[in-house]
């Protein structure tokens, strides 16, 4: 009996919930020193002096380092994430004369304990000459103050629309401005890293062992190699258990990148663990788009034209965040057949934390814009938002479907997802309840919000290492060892890959081990992100197991004195087709292979040609107190199509996590700066981070339109909840107070914003 499709409980969990997980901050590193960074307290200023003498002389301090020390060692700027970004913009690992956001690194203090390092860091005196601060991206667009004068502009990415959208054929045109607010990824494990230079080998070479909580060991190794000019084979990067990443840990940061250098300078292991406030003001932020939209169509509900203009916050140093509009443009029209559409976007630097990828990375922004646009259009023509969607969704029989912006969707059933979510939520009864509350003037009004979404996963395709080797344990039972390039940080890869191998080979699930996250044990790995793991890594594990099965069948054919083509592997036993009574076990085959000097191993050879396109429909039900603006999410129903699902239990876990983060963005989360660039949301006391108490139990429904792009028919599901939930909840909040004249409430829909929208509409 196959395992794929079964609800198998995660094997990772017992160690994690009993405190036996391997997190870097818990590693015992004899003699390790601790680094604490002196961070800028100014958003934009020139450094006139740094006094480190008092800190350097304190007990337990092993060094205080500044940019001058990097220069003395010939270490240049931090590499830029994206090769198309302006070459004139450089980011020093430690500030080089100018700071550009609160939290930027100015100096590094290394001491025998974190407490001593904190005390010494407080003794470092930095004198600043304030410069003009640019927090608002529109202000940065218009300002004569340039964050990088050598670049000559605060615009770092400029994407032209490429075509003019014709609205002259439309009976109705609606315009709106939306703010997709800057948010903090907030993984429960913040950034953690440690480095140790090993004893010289026989040739006098010292290898570096570097631990980092990241989303891909080899990419980090390659960045360390490039930054220091150390051959990659002299660097070992280990990524054990990781407490969440959400995209932000897919990138290198100066805090992590400097740890190997500090370990070399002090000739001791050095470790870095950031505080929550450091994480909130240093780990890359997400989202951050100002969106101006226009949508037009006929009065009978047909959408004919749509355009979006985006100003993207890139933060102080352009990173992947500047790339986000590319993804927004790729998914511009969502699930709708809109023949005439275009987007123009500009990425702008500001005196704020740099933006990077956060769960969904550009696709939630696209969904937020088009789903609000459809609701605004429906309101203008006086039609139920459900009916407008029915009239414009791409039909099931039109896949593969190429949108107006040139993106080709692989498969989907958008009308089917809509009808499923309406049925699961009992939409008709919800509308009836809403009508009753409105008729009686109830203080607490009901809102029903809908979002039908599509996103891209695995982006442009690619590959991920998958190797399987079969052996036996001390008891003579067959075992399988999987080596994977994927890096789990909460997804359950060890369980999933074991299920795939057990399903294909019939080896007991509990006898499958998975190796990952160590550049000495795994030949290659890519960044784990973009919901790519099952379709790329999982497919190569599947294919690798298939190679092993073929080798085993050849051996079984010899043992059974039969033709190889006639051998069948069924329930972990090999027999001639049609005669299962005479068979050979895996133990027989492994023993024969060992006797013949053969290795029962295989490697997947799959490379996906392009991305896949998960989709779905979400309905959110909220209750809004019209006197205070307080919103309570009562219910959220999610229909998600991620193609074929390996483990529905794990898939639901991914959806649940995504829904919570999407809800957080819709109702609570927003990074706020004052006009001087000081962060006002620097910890969880100030930043609205949702807990289980703020969300209801969810109703999840699976819909599967298998992808033709890979053997498993899989699409990604790690980000789907985030993409559908935010516009569904926002639409629900607006719907709850729409009868009072409210047409829009910006994200996050806080009580203050809702209350203000009601007051302005009256």
Among positive and negative, which fits the CA dihedral 735, 738, 740, 742? positive
Same domain, 120 and 208: yes
Residue 343: its pLDDT value, please? 98
Same domain, 169 and 196: no
Among positive and negative, which fits the CA dihedral 12, 17, 19, 24? positive
Taking the C-alpha atoms of residue 322 and residue 324, their distance in angstroms, rounded to an integer, is 6
Taking the C-alpha atoms of residue 459 and residue 480, their distance in angstroms, rounded to an integer, is 31
3-state helix vs strand vs coil in the chain, percent to 5: 30, 25, 40
Residue 1: its pLDDT value, please? 54
Token reading at 102:
């609160």
Taking the C-alpha atoms of residue 322 and residue 209, their distance in angstroms, rounded to an integer, is 32
Same domain, 24 and 70: yes
Residue 82: its pLDDT value, please? 76
Residue 127 lies in a domain: yes
Taking CA atoms, 98 is separated from 40, 46, 105, 147, 542, in Å, by 10, 4, 11, 10, 52
Token reading at 745:
């409430």
Closest to 513 in 3D by CA, of 473, 458, 459: 473
Q: What is the DSSP secondary-structure string of 502-558?
A: HHHH---GGGEEEE-SBTTT-S------TT-IIIIIIHHHHHHHHHHHHHHHHHHHH
Same domain, 323 and 424: no
Among 559, 585, 603, residue at a domain's last position: 603
State the residue for tokens 């809403």.
Answer: 434
Question: Residue 419 has what DSSP assignment?
Answer: H
Token reading at 148:
């990088």
pLDDT tens by residue, 2-47: 899 999 999 999 999 999 999 999 999 999 999 999 999 999 999 9
Taking the C-alpha atoms of residue 735 and residue 460, their distance in angstroms, rounded to an integer, is 37
Could you give the residue ranges of the DSSP H alpha helices within 332-413? 363-381, 385-392
CA-CA-CA-CA torsion for 500, 504, 508, 510, nearest 10 degrees? -10
Residue 402 lies in a domain: no
Residue 30: exposure state from Cβ atoms within 10 A (0-12, 13-18, ≥19) = exposed
Same domain, 315 and 367: yes
Q: Residue 287's beta-bridge partner residues?
A: 182
Among positive and negative, which fits the CA dihedral 667, 668, 670, 676? positive
Same domain, 200 and 60: yes
Orientation angle between helical segments 648-667 and 720-737, nearest 10 degrees:
40
Q: Residue 289's beta-bridge partner residues?
A: 180, 312
Same domain, 193 and 157: no
Q: Which domain holds residue 503?
A: 462-603
pLDDT tens by residue, 244-258: 999 999 999 999 999
Token reading at 545:
């197991």
Question: Residue 707 has what DSSP assignment?
Answer: -
Among 559, 577, 603, residue at a domain's last position: 603
Closest to 214 in 3D by CA, of 284, 315, 113, 319: 284
φ/ψ of 611, rounded to 5, equals -80, 170
CB–CB of 689/664 below 8 Å? yes
Could you give the residue ranges of the DSSP H alpha helices within 276-384? 276-280, 324-330, 363-381
Residue 399 lies in a domain: no
As a three-state string, the secondary structure of 154-169 is CEEEEECCCCCCCCCC
Same domain, 170 and 241: no
Residue 358 lies in a domain: yes
Token reading at 417:
């997802």
- Asked if omega into 400 is within 30° of 0 (cis), the reply is yes
E strands along 154-231, which residues? Answer: 155-159, 172-183, 192-197, 208-212
Same domain, 443 and 588: no
Residue 19 lies in a domain: yes
Token reading at 614:
């998960």
Among 603, 636, 664, residue at a domain's last position: 603
Taking the C-alpha atoms of residue 549 and residue 50, their distance in angstroms, rounded to an integer, is 64
Same domain, 597 and 697: no
Question: Residue 248 has what DSSP assignment?
Answer: G
CB–CB of 133/44 below 8 Å? yes
Token reading at 562:
């039969």
Same domain, 154 and 293: yes
In Å, the largest CA–CA distance within the chain is: 87
Token reading at 443:
């203080």
Token reading at 747:
């994200």
Q: 653: domain CATH number? A: 3.30.365.10
pLDDT tens by residue, 388-435: 999 999 999 999 999 999 999 999 999 999 999 999 999 999 999 999
CA-CA-CA-CA torsion for 704, 706, 712, 715, nearest 10 degrees? -80
Taking the C-alpha atoms of residue 729 and residue 618, their distance in angstroms, rounded to an integer, is 9
Taking the C-alpha atoms of residue 533 and residue 519, their distance in angstroms, rounded to an integer, is 18
Q: How many CB atoms lie within 10 A of CB 606?
A: 22
Residue 71: its pLDDT value, please? 97
Q: Identify the three-state secondary structure at position 548.
A: helix
Residue 85 lies in a domain: yes
Structural domains counted in the chain = 4
CB–CB of 140/316 below 8 Å? no
Residues of the chain scoring pLDDT < 70: 1
Taking the C-alpha atoms of residue 99 and residue 136, their distance in angstroms, rounded to an integer, is 17
Report the first-to-last Cα separation within the chain, whole angstroms: 63
Taking the C-alpha atoms of residue 187 and residue 117, their distance in angstroms, rounded to an integer, is 24
Token reading at 180:
């997709």
Residue 685: its pLDDT value, please? 92
Q: How many CB atoms lie within 10 A of CB 620?
A: 32
Same domain, 164 and 127: no
Question: Residue 564 has what DSSP assignment?
Answer: G
Q: How many residues does the chain have?
A: 762
Taking CA atoms, 224 is separated from 36, 81, 197, 486, 526, in Å, by 20, 13, 13, 19, 15
Residue 5 lies in a domain: no
CB–CB of 501/470 below 8 Å? no
Q: 55: domain CATH number? A: 3.90.1170.50
Residue 10 lies in a domain: no
CB–CB of 19/83 below 8 Å? no
Residue 241: its pLDDT value, please? 97
Q: Identify the three-state secondary structure at position 701.
A: strand
Q: How far is CA 133 from the centre of its chain?
A: 30
């Amino acid at each position: 009996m196959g395992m794929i499709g079964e609800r198998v409980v995660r094997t990772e969990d017992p160690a994690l919930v009993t405190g036996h997980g391997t997190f870097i901050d818990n590693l015992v590193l004899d003699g390790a020193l601790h680094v604490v960074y002196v961070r800028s307290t100014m958003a934009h200023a020139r450094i006139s002096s740094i006094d480190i003498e008092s800190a350097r002389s304190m007990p337990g301090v092993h060094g205080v380092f500044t940019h001058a020390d990097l220069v003395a060692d010939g270490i240049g700027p931090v590499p830029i994430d994206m090769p198309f970004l302006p070459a004139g913009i450089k980011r020093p690992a430690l500030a080089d004369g100018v700071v550009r956001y609160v939290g930027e690194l100015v100096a590094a203090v290394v001491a025998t304990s974190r407490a001593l390092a904190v005390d010494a860091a407080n003794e470092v005196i930095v004198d600043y000459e304030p410069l003009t601060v640019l927090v608002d991206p529109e202000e940065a667009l218009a300002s004569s103050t340039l964050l990088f004068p050598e670049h000559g502009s605060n615009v770092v990415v400029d994407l032209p629309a490429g075509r003019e959208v014709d609205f002259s054929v439309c009976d109705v045109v609606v315009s709106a401005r939306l703010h997709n607010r800057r948010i903090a990824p907030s993984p429960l494990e913040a950034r953690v890293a440690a480095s140790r230079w090993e004893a010289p080998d026989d040739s006098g070479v010292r290898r570096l062992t570097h631990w980092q909580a990241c989303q891909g060991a080899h990419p980090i190794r390659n960045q360390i190699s490039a930054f220091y000019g150390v051959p990659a084979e002299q660097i070992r990067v280990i990524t054990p258990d990781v407490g969440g990443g959400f995209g932000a840990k897919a990138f290198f940061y100066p805090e992590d990148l400097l740890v190997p250098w500090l370990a070399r300078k002090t000739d001791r292991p050095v470790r870095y663990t950031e505080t929550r406030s450091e994480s909130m003001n240093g780990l890359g932020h997400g989202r951050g788009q100002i969106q101006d939209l226009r949508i037009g169509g006929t009065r009978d509900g047909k959408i004919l034209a749509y355009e979006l203009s985006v100003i993207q916050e890139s933060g102080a140093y352009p990173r992947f965040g500047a790339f986000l509009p590319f993804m927004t443009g790729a998914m511009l029209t969502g699930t709708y057949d809109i023949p005439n559409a275009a987007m123009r976007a500009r990425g702008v630097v500001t005196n704020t934390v740099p933006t990077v990828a956060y769960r969904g990375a550009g696709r939630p922004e696209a969904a937020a814009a088009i789903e609000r646009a459809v609701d605004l259009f429906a309101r203008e023509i006086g039609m139920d938002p459900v009916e407008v969607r029915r009239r414009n969704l791409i039909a099931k029989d039109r896949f593969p479907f190429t949108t107006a912006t040139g993106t080709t969707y692989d498969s989907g059933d958008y009308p089917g997802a809509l009808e499923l979510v309406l049925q699961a939520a009992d939409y008709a009864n919800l509308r009836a309840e809403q009508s009753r509350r409105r008729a009686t003037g109830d203080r607490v009004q009901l809102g029903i919000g809908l979002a039908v979404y599509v996103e891209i996963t695995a982006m442009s395709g690619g590959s991920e290492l998958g190797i399987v080797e079969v052996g036996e344990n001390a008891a003579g039972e067959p075992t399988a060892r999987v080596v994977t390039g994927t890096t789990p940080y909460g997804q359950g890869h060890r369980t999933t890959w074991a299920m795939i191998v057990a399903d294909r080979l019939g080896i007991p699930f509990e006898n499958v081990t998975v190796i990952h996250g160590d550049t000495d044990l795994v030949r290659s790995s890519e960044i784990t992100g973009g919901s790519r793991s099952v379709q790329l890594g999982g497919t190569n594990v599947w294919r690798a197991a298939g190679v092993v099965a073929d080798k085993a069948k050849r051996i079984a054919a010899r043992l059974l004195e039969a033709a190889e083509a006639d051998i069948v592997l069924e329930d972990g036993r090999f027999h001639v087709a049609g005669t299962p009574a005479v068979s050979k076990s895996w133990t027989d085959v492994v023993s024969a292979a060992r006797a013949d000097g053969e290795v029962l191993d295989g490697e997947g050879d799959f490379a996906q040609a392009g991305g896949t396109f998960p989709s779905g429909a979400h309905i959110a039900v909220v209750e809004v107190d019209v006197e205070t603006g307080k919103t309570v999410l009562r219910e959220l129903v999610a229909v998600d199509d991620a193609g074929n699902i390996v483990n529905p239990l794990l898939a639901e876990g991914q959806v649940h996590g995504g829904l919570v983060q999407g809800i957080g963005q819709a109702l609570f989360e927003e990074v706020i700066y004052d006009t001087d660039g000081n962060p006002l949301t620097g910890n969880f006391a100030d930043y609205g981070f949702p807990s289980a108490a703020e969300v209801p139990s969810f109703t999840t429904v699976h819909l599967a339109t298998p992808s033709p792009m890979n053997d498993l028919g899989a699409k990604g599901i790690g980000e789907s909840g985030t993409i559908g939930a935010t516009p569904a909840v926002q639409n629900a909040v607006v719907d709850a107070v729409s009868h009072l004249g409210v047409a829009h409430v910006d994200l996050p829909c806080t009580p203050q914003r809702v209350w203000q929208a009601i007051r302005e509409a009256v």
